[in-house]
Amino acid sequence: MILEAKSLYKSYKKGNSTIKVLEGFNFEMEKGDFVAVVGPSGAGKSTLLHILGGLEKPDEGFVFFNGENIYNDRKNLDNIRNKHFGFVFQFHYLLNDFTALENVAIPGMINDSENNAFSRAKEILVKMGLEGRINHFPKELSGGEQQRVAIARALINDPSVLFADEPTGNLDKDNSRIIIDEFKRLNAEGLSIILVTHDEKIASVAKRTLRMEKL
């Protein structure tokens, strides 16, 4: 089991009211799986993704990556997140003052030399069909291209799990298709993927679908 969650609880307090999001939620994922997470707005899809990805601690319960409790130790959590997890969000959050190549290479310098990070960044961008765009700044890229750069950035540290929260939320049909084909290719190469989407058609490319309901 690459990723496992046991009995997760999460609620948010706002003023006098408490919003329950997860109550005893369990999750299991084998290496190489591709899970689509669907459900109505507010069902807790992003919350679940953040908890599984080590970005937000659950109130109760455990998340295990390769059998290791990720929230046990702060330093180890950073290490797992940097080395083994990749994230793609609806908004790409690329750095505007840096080129596509630099945006992808920079997080690679955490684990590797500058030279290696740049050469790997280039390799990934080429694989994603962006060879002619590596020196473009984000504003010189189309929305679909920006999102492909964001995916390339998520892959720079060669993660074993890719977490994606509505990565096609801002894209038209053609660009969504390109992104989804990319995910399929990455999954075929062995990457485990958790993809949150509103779009049932996009969910259908995953190996299985996890449906969340509002509590």
Ligand X SMILES: Nc1ncnc2c1ncn2[C@@H]1O[C@H](COP(=O)(O)OP(=O)(O)OP(=O)(O)O)[C@@H](O)[C@H]1O
- Which residues contact ligand X by CB under 6 A? 12, 14, 19, 21, 39, 41-47
Please tell me the distance from the alpha carbon of residue 214 to that of residue 109, in angstroms, as a whole number.
Answer: 40
Distance, in Å, from the CA atom of 129 to the CA atom of 116, rounded to the nearest integer, reads 20
Q: What is the smallest separation between the CB atom of 165 and ligand X, expressed in angstroms? A: 7
Spatial CB neighbours of 201, under 8 Å, sequence gap ≥ 6 = none
As a whole number of angstroms, the distance between CA 185 and CA 181 comes to 6
Choose among Mg ion, ligand X, none what residue 42 binds, the Cβ cut-off being 5 to 8 Å by kind. ligand X
Cβ nearer to ligand X, comparing 47 with 157: 47
Cβ of residue 46: shortest distance to Mg ion, in angstroms?
Answer: 3
Decide if residue 46 touches Mg ion (CB under 5 A). yes
The three-class DSSP label of residue 132 is helix
d(CA 121, CA 127): 10
For strand 60-65 and strand 68-69, is the pairing parallel, antiparallel, or unpaired? antiparallel
55, two tokens:
């970005």
| Residue 21, contacted partner among ligand X, Mg ion, none, CB below 5-8 A by kind | ligand X
> CB of 36: closest distance to ligand X in angstroms?
13
Residue 14 or 74: which CB sits closer to ligand X?
14
Choose among Mg ion, ligand X, none what residue 43 binds, the Cβ cut-off being 5 to 8 Å by kind: ligand X
Rounded distance between C-alpha atoms, residue 38 and residue 22, angstroms:
15
Q: Are 82 and 113 in contact (CB under 8 A)?
A: no
Whole-number minimum distance, CB 93 to ligand X, in Å?
16
- Considering the complex, state which of residue 52 and residue 70 has its C-beta at the smaller distance from ligand X: 52
Q: Which residue lies nearest Mg ion, judged by its C-beta? A: 46
Stretches 12-20, 38-46, 132-140, 177-185: which one binds Mg ion (CB under 5 A)? 38-46
Residue 91 or 123 with smaller CB distance to Mg ion: 91
Cβ pair 163, 53 in contact under 8 A: yes
At closest approach, how far in Å is the CB of 48 from Mg ion?
Answer: 9
Which amino acid type is present at position 183?
Answer: F
Q: Which residues pair with 163 in a beta bridge?
A: 87, 194
Residue 87 Cβ vs ligand X, minimum distance, rounded to whole Å: 14
Which residues contact Mg ion (rule: CB under 5 A)?
Answer: 46
